[in-house]
Amino acid sequence: MPDLFDKVLRFHELDAFKAAGLYPYFRAIRASEGNEVEIDGRRLVMAGSNNYLGLTHDARVKAAAIHAVEEFGSGCTGSRFLNGTLELHVELERRLSAWTKRGAAITFSTGFQTNLGIISCLVGREDVVFSDRDNHACIVDGCRLSFGEFVKFRHNDMSDLQRRLAASPADKGKLIVVDGCYSMCADLAPLDQICELADRYGARVLVDEAHSFGVFGANGRGACEHFGVEERVDLVMGTFSKSFASLGGFAAGRADVIAYIQHHARSLIFSASIAPASAAAALAALDVIEREPERRERVLAIAQRVRDTLRADGFPVLGEISPIIPLVIGERVRVFRFWKRLFERGVFTNPVTAPAVPQGMDLIRMSFMSTHTEAQVDFVIEQVRETVAEFADELPWYQGSVAG
């Protein structure tokens, strides 16, 4: 008789990596200063965090979180519907709706739950959701949990999206969902073209701004502001675990749409609200985002310097303007070995393998923050160069020596 745990007993694919000392995940950080961390008694430059504006260690953000704990305690111990709504949540939602220039906003316990809740409650049996194939897992799971038809289109391929929109019955409700900035390959969705197709085929648009809020746009309002389409996008969502230096997520849009989500999204209704410290930290981070544009200017300048330098060396770096720098290595075992050598050299990065990226496009994902010093950036560049040279015989794109 089959046993539910048979699959568990067959799960051995990581054993060889662990035996070889190449398993890269769940590394425990003992201490952190934001741009540097301590792991196993060693200090490393943190070049693998989504803390793009460096606010997790900002004194104002930490003070706000501490004050919230002293005033409200460590947790809310209930859902927003019951005892879990604090004045902090209401103020945060008011500020977010004003900042995003939308009628209302609602906070969720995590960014993952935000997309899960929005999509699954809005897309019904008579609706179709169109999702980019490179969308984040929370978007995919939200589409799967909805009762509507789930249609995928090729990544950033507007011809494929148009073909699929045209094939969908005119009497169906339609939602197009994309990431504003894709977290692994660091490219942006062509939101201007997507909005044109949405207008033509009567579709609504949801943009996941998790990796673009606080970073893109003149005011940090993300990819929608960057492309000048804020008024044409129906819904945006964001997370507090990146530029907002906290934990949680939110959706912003028309007041009536947000009210519907508020009363129908199961991931909101049946989850405890975000902790007081998280809400207060996000509020303090929003203050900084609004008042200190030099932070996003600096992180983008740092990333551009790294991108330009590595490309000048002939390295296959993906993306254009994001703080994320993906370096294609091309094979899972090799990317784990490459990651380990960078780790040993004092640089913390993230190895990314299929299915998070296409097969054969395994990569090292670096990401930078505004608080990195020039010396730290130079150190990361030099360690990447030396590691590439060490792997020269295994990298078909390597062309020989690089600048010192």
- Looking up residue 369, the CATH number of its domain turns out to be 3.90.1150.10
Same domain, 249 and 139: yes
Q: What is the CATH number of the domain that holds 249?
A: 3.40.640.10
Per residue in 105-132, pLDDT tens? 999 999 999 999 999 999 999 999 999 9
pLDDT at res. 130: 98
Sign of the torsion formed by the C-alpha atoms of 131, 230, 241 and 371: positive
Of residues 236, 243, 189, the one with CA closest to residue 211: 243
- 92 in a structural domain: yes
- 399 in a structural domain: no
CB 153 within 8 A of CB 132: yes
Same domain, 383 and 297: yes
Active site residues: 183, 211, 242
Enumerate residues 6+ apart whose C-beta is below 8 A from 151.
128, 129, 130, 131, 164, 168
Of residues 239, 207, 240, 242, the one with CA closest to residue 225: 207
Alpha helices in 123-274 (DSSP H): 137-145, 158-167, 191-201, 223-227, 255-264, 266-269
AA letter at 215: V
Choosing from 264, 291, 318, the residue where a domain stops is 291
Burial annotation 290-299 (CB, 10 A radius, 16+ → b, else e): eebeebbebb
- Rounded CA-CA distance 186/368 in Å is 12
Same domain, 256 and 369: no
Please tell me whether the peptide bond between 355 and the residue prior to it is cis, using omega within 30 degrees of 0.
Answer: yes
Same domain, 316 and 241: no
Choosing from 270, 291, 312, the residue where a domain stops is 291
- Rounded CA-CA distance 35/53 in Å is 11
Enumerate residues 6+ apart whose C-beta is below 8 A from 290.
99, 219, 220
Q: Do strands 173-179 and 149-153 pair parallel, antiparallel, or not at all (unpaired)?
A: unpaired
pLDDT at res. 400: 59
- What tokens appear for 301 in the block? 């300048």
Cβ neighbours, 10 Å, residue 320: 12
Of residues 140, 127, 132, 133, the one with CA closest to residue 174: 127
Choosing from 244, 270, 291, the residue where a domain stops is 291
- 400 in a structural domain: no
Same domain, 187 and 280: yes
- 1 in a structural domain: no
Same domain, 334 and 344: yes
178 has which bridge partners?
A: 207
pLDDT at res. 298: 98
Same domain, 206 and 217: yes
- Rounded CA-CA distance 290/297 in Å is 13
**Which residue segment(s) compose the domain that 117 sits in?**
58-291
For residue 316, the Cα-to-chain-centroid distance in whole angstroms is: 22
Phi, psi of 345 (to 5 degrees): -85, 0
Same domain, 120 and 136: yes
Of residues 318, 338, 259, the one with CA closest to residue 80: 259
Per residue in 144-177, pLDDT tens? 999 999 999 999 999 999 999 999 999 999 999 9
DSSP code for 268: H
Torsion of CA 6, 9, 12, 13, to 10 degrees: 20
- 82 in a structural domain: yes
Q: Which residue has the tokens 């220039």?
A: 101
Of residues 181, 214, 217, the one with CA closest to residue 324: 181
Same domain, 39 and 74: no
- 237 in a structural domain: yes
DSSP code for 368: -
- What tokens appear for 51 in the block? 């803390």
- Rounded CA-CA distance 12/282 in Å is 40
CB 202 within 8 A of CB 165: no
Rounded to 5 degrees, what angle do the CA atoms 395, 44, 391 make?
10
Residues of the chain with pLDDT under 70: 399-404
- 344 in a structural domain: yes
Q: How many domains does the chain have?
A: 2
Same domain, 209 and 281: yes
Same domain, 352 and 275: no
pLDDT at res. 101: 97
Same domain, 236 and 337: no
- Rounded CA-CA distance 287/266 in Å is 30
